[in-house]
Structures are given as C-alpha cells and as structure tokens.
Structure 1
Amino acid sequence: MTEAISSSPSTRIAVVTGGNKGIGLEVCRQLAGNGVTVVLTARDEKRGTEAVEKLNGPGISHVLFHQLDITDASSIAGLVDFLKTRFGRVDILVNNAAYGGVEFLRGPVYNSVSSEEELSGMDRDQRLEWLWKNSQETYDAAKKGLQTNYYGTKHVIEALLPLLQASSDGRLVNVSSDFGQLRHFRKEELKQELNDVDNITEERLDELLDMFLKDFEAGAVDARGWPRAFSAYKVAKAAMNAYSRILARRHPELHINCVHPGYVKTDITIHSGLLTPEEGGSRVAAVALLPEGGVTGAFFEDFKESSFV
C-alpha cells in the first residue's frame, strides 16, 4: 500500500498524531482530500490500520499508517526514522493526540446515543457541567494529562523539527482548546507570566508545571489561583500555547499556530460536545492549509485569529 503513495517533491507531506478517530481522523480525511499525503499515527496498530482502510477509498488514496505513542521516546524515534527514509521532510505536523486529564465515572467509552438523549436541549455551559459531574480529577490522571498534552507533544515537536525545517513551507499546528486560554487562571501573576512571550522560557514552563502538580497533590489548586475544573487539561493546554509562541519566535522560517477545534463530540468529552468531529476537524485543517506567508504564533478559534488570553 505505501509503495503506491506519491512522495514527489510537489506533494505535501503531513503527519497527524492521534489520527485514528474523532478530530484527528477528520483532519486526516480533510488534508488528504486537499491532495496532501498524510501519515496517520496512533498508539494502537490495529485501530490505526483500520482507520487508514476507512479513509483510503473513492477520491482518497494517499493516507498511510505509522504507529506512534507520543509518550514513548522509542516510538517517536521510530516515526522519525520512517519519515526521514520515506520522505526526507515533513510539510505539516498536526499535534492532535491528547488525554482529558480526568477519570470518567461512566467507564472508558460511554454510549454516544445514550449521552445524546441525556444532553438533548442543554446549552454549552450545561453540557460542560454535565461532563464535570461525570468526571473526577485524580493526581495520576492530572500527571498523565501533563505528560501527554504538554511533554508528549513537545517531544514529538522536538524530534520532527529538523524534518519541518527541511520543508520549503513547514507548518506546525497544535490542537489546543479554549480551556487553555489564560482567562481560566485566577492568579494574575500566573496569567501575566504565561502571556509574557518575550520572557517566558521552556525551563520556566517546567517549573510552573511542577508547581501545579505539587499544588494539585496538596489540594491547593484553588488556593493558588490555578484554573478550576479540568485544571490539569487547562494548565497543559496553556503551557502548550506558551511553548508554541516561544517556538514561533525562535523559528520564523516555520508557521507555528494553535487552534481550538470547538466543543466536539468525541471520547474525550464523552460525546457531550455541540460540534461533530467533521466540524472540529475542519477548523484544524483550515489552519494547516492557510495560504503561504500567513500568520505565525497565533491562536485560532471559529476559523479566525483569536486571543491566547
């Protein structure tokens, strides 16, 4: 299958993490529909291969699978070796793989039909309240949330950076969230520090994330002014937004942006969202396919540039 896939210099090469379902699958579909050769990655080989088989049908024949666990250094190295050998570059990297940072009280996958019946007539805030009531924050889940949503994504970026730089128009799209906007932080000093793009450093982000975990373990999240409810997810996404801005300044040759896909019906929301994965995916794909010479270091929401705050 992979041998038939074009890797000519004129064909753009995209890598999508967490591509086997939900928003990631739709991003793969929409990029491929725009003539991009897509490397769909997922932790589970069987699910990833099945996702590629679903996509490679009428009109789309240039999606291939490679295994990737973004929290596993050897898995990341394996993907890099494959991309170097097969393509020699990456034109678009979409970091979509994520973990909710909470444990759901309804089991691993809640029936989406049942949840839709239960959520019928609820607005966004009511749905978020329902989601919160059906979740619990634990230290282990919070720690895993930071390791996946911030450090896992960061390690993928660091490993693929040389391949993005080998592109004539390298694009890095980090799937973020309005939960990562700084308005959720209640301590003004934290807000200001995370928004100070001229002075914030990777080392300081590490310190802040360590501080958050210690406060979480001590039950001091509220007292210290961290975000309430889904706090680990919010903190990790805010840190990734800050890191994206650091990278955009450091690498002006690339286009590095964050995008909020909206409140989407996926496993990570127990299917409580208002948008379909196709709608969420279209917001991400639009940023990946911005015209050449566009903005970098920006946050996008509803197809337009928005605020990190």
Structure 2
Amino acid sequence: MKSVLITGANRSIGLEITKQLSKKGVFVYLGTRDLEKGNKVVKQLNEDGYENIKAIQIDVTNQASILAAKAIVENEQGKLDILINNAGISGEFPQNASDTNIEAIQNVFDTNFFGVISVTQAFLELLKKSESPRISNITSGLGSLTLHSDPTWKYYNFKSAAYGTSKAALNAYTINLAYELKDLSFKVNAIDPGYTATDFNHHSGPGTIESAASFIIKHTLTDDSAPTGQFYSNDIEDETGISPW
C-alpha cells in the first residue's frame, strides 16, 4: 500500500485530497498542527467509511515538529511514497509592494516557502526508498510571473506582495528540486488547484474542493512516463493543464 503525507490536511482541499486518496487505497498521514483536532477529523472520516488514515502532528514552521513526524512515518512505514506540500497561508490583505510590513511577508514565506523546503528536505530520505516517489507542491496561479505580466489575464489586477511572491518562490524551488532529482524515479511538480471556494478566500472562488483535489491527485498519482518539473493549473482550460511559469 502506498503512503502519503499531506500537510495542512485537516480541512478544505487537504481534507478532500485525504478522502479521495483513501478511496484509492492509499495510506494517508493527515498532517495537522493540532493533533487533537486532527484525531477528531479522522474519527469522523472513519465513521463515514474512510479507512487507512492517521492524523500526524506537523507544523511546517517548526523543525522539531517536522522531524518528529518523520520519525513516526519512518518507524511505521520505513519509507514514504508521496509528499503533498499543501499547508499554506494567505496573510492579511491588502498586500501592497510599497508598504506591506516586512514581518507580514516573512510570516507568509515561513509557511508557504521555507516550510515546504523544510518538510521536503526532511522527508527526502524516506521518499528515496520508494519505487515511485512523488512530490506535489501546491501552488497558485497568482505565482505565475508570466500571467501577472499579462494585462489581459483575468486576475491581472490581483497583486499580493506576500502570498503571490511566496508562491512564485515556491515554483522556482520546484524547478530546482525537479532538476536535481531528474535522474531518479521522482516526479516533482507544482500544482495549482485553481480558484476554489474555501475558507482560505471566504468561499469566493468558483471552483469546488472536489474538483481541486481531483486535479491535484491526477497530477500526483502519475506513471513513470509522466513529466517532472511542470506547473499544472486547474484554471488552465486546455487538456494539458500546463500553466506558464
């Protein structure tokens, strides 16, 4: 049975990914900062018929928490097949480039960028023991420099000096990591679930969490011939789903 760690999985898109992967026969470590809340979520999932799910405490901004989570996975599984770096924060708005407090920007980067790096580096040892390791970094179309430079893009006027830049940095890290691991069996991709109605955006997005989770899983549970180092977006309306960087 394949195993997956999903950070920020106790609600919203992360929770829906958990449900869908459970139904596909994957053992899911439901990453949560609050283990008590995570256990309550798992209890409800079990009552609803979902199996092979375990809550695991992990705060992506805390190295001791990350290493403790790694120790649990290593002890129980001996390896990890899939890492979905889903945890993220938006920060307070507006986020003007000229006057957003530097501490506010750093706070967003700590979770959305440095947190992903910390978790990924910690779990690489276990991922390398998998026959087909996958790393999916959950990003946003707001991290696309190409789209943000296009005045005809529908979200062109939504600029964010903390959130958008943190996702652009995450995209750049994804490219670097995919390149470093390209000669191994890894597939490392940035995946944008699209503008989805979640607590994250006060349910303003047009997309559903079911569609978002399905899209992420589609580009995570890939075969050995699938691309690596790509940027997929559920908001791209062609069959490839490939977004410009």
Structure 1 residue aligned with 2:166: 236
Q: Is the 8 A contact 1:241 1:308 kept in 2?
A: no
Q: Is the 8 A contact 1:264 1:274 kept in 2?
A: yes
Deviation (angstroms), 1:170:
0.2
Distance 2:101 2:199 in 1: 19
Equivalences for residues 112-261 of structure 1 within 5 A = 137-183=100-146, 229-252=159-182, 253=184, 254-261=186-193
Question: CA 1:75–1:12 in 2, change beyond 3 Å: closer, same or farther?
Answer: same
TM-score normalised by the chain length of structure 2:
0.87
Matched, 1:293 2:229: no
Aligned CA RMSD, in angstroms, stands at 2.0
Distance 1:138 1:45 in 2: 31
Structure 1 residue aligned with 2:152: none
What SS does the aligned partner of 2:123 have? helix
Give structure 1 stretches of 5+ with no counterpart: 1-10, 105-131, 187-226
Distance 2:160 2:202 in 1: 14
Structure that is richer in helix per residue: 1
TM-score normalised by the chain length of structure 1:
0.70
- Given residue 244 of structure 1, which amino acid in structure 2 is its aligned partner? T
In the TM superposition, what whole-angstrom CA distance separates every residue of 1:10-50 from its partner, at most 9, and x where no partner exists?
Answer: x1000000000000001111111111000001101122112
The aligned length equals 229
Structure 2 residue aligned with 1:27: 17
Larger radius of gyration: 1
In the TM superposition, what whole-angstrom CA distance separates every residue of 1:38-95 from its partner, at most 9, and x where no partner exists?
Answer: 0001101122112212222455210111001000000001001111111011101000
Give structure 2 stretches of 5+ with no counterpart: 150-156
In the TM superposition, what whole-angstrom CA distance separates every residue of 1:170-189 from its partner, at most 9, and x where no partner exists?
Answer: 00001011001112555xxx
**Runs of 4+ residues over 4 Å off in structure 1:** none
Question: CA 1:306–1:278 in 2, change beyond 3 Å: closer, same or farther?
Answer: same
Which stretch shifts more, 297-306 or 258-267? 297-306
Deviation (angstroms), 1:278:
1.6
Q: Is the 8 A contact 2:12 2:198 kept in 1?
A: yes
Distance 2:4 2:57 in 1: 15
Deviation (angstroms), 1:141:
2.5
